[in-house]
Structure 1
Amino acid sequence: MNQTFKKETFRDDYTFSNSPEAVKRFPFPFHEDEYMYSVNIEPHVKTAVGSITEFTFDIDEHYVAECEDKAITLANDPQRYLCLPHMMDAQWDTLELMMESMSNDYPEQFNLTKEGDNWTWVNKPLGITTKFVFGDESSLPMEPLEYIGRQVQGDWVMLDQRDNNLFADGAIVTSQADWSLAIDVGMSWQEWHGRARRAMEREQCPYR
């Protein structure tokens, strides 16, 4: 894949735009006549060559600009990344999945070399080369999820499954619409998406 990355901004002068090629990759038509703003947790299935779901993680023309903007947001508000202590193994699993997927799907842009637990990660678009020990937090400049979460597009929430429920116990979220990770981290699925009690009492925004 020979990808060209756009120089653009998502704030202040806001120069973001989609190229005609990017528009052609949009997932149209929708599978239904109506569209509702939502998030799904369906398993990802790879699809046609050139589509946004061709690979496990999509890297498009906005990749560098989005990662740069994510870094600005995290510098201004570090609590856009939060993860509970018991999720550390899941953080390493996520880092491994993302690094392996990106290096396999985009070998021209990313490379992962393993010598036992001694790993070397190269991210050419962002100019990153990191040697670290897999499983050793001290060998990375930050926690694993934040480290790799800064190098992928979009927001990521890790759900822990226990007590017949799902809990949002870790996330890196820099472009959410109307909720706060600092408030919601550790909440169950029902708490996260349930009724907002105080808002209901004031007859405002009955659902979160």
Structure 2
Amino acid sequence: MLIIEPICEKSLTYILKNIDYDFNTLVPKNASQYQINKFILHNDKIRCFNSLGYFVIKLKKDLSPIGFISIIPRYIHENLINELGYFIIKYYRNNNFMKEAIFHTLNYVFNNTNIDKIYSLVEDSNSVSKHILLNIMMFNFIGSLPNCSKLTQVYYLTKSKFLNQKELIYIKTNKCLIKNKRTLI
């Protein structure tokens, strides 16, 4: 149902126009063309560093960009981690697209890179993301980080756990897709 590919200027511009709130990224919702180009160059540098970075999520049926997913290096308390981040345009939420995108991204990362652990930082109030990470993708909860005005929860998944539980995670992901058949059109 989805295509995941490196983000480009056109896709990023489309996604930014359809964001319903500012999210924590290097490019603001109302970004200028200069800021968008700078972000794309920055993403190219990230991709050179670890072959990952920001990717656009598109519907396979019409190639519409519906969000992005990323694996980027980030420092937390002087430790370099690889962080999973994601965003989906409001119109496409609650259709299980993000579960599919996360599964395929993790599958790619753990089978094609030397990354052995992925972290994800989630605002305490984001119950949907917490459910996806804990109950569908089988991430482990580490603890919370105080972050200015918001409490951020930290989750991680190891390569060995993902590969050992891959079939179960895939079944959980597909149960969600089958349950909501209108997304399969």
More helix by share: 2
Shorter-chain TM range is under 0.3
Tell me the TM-score normalised to structure 2 length: 0.27
Structure showing greater radius of gyration is 1
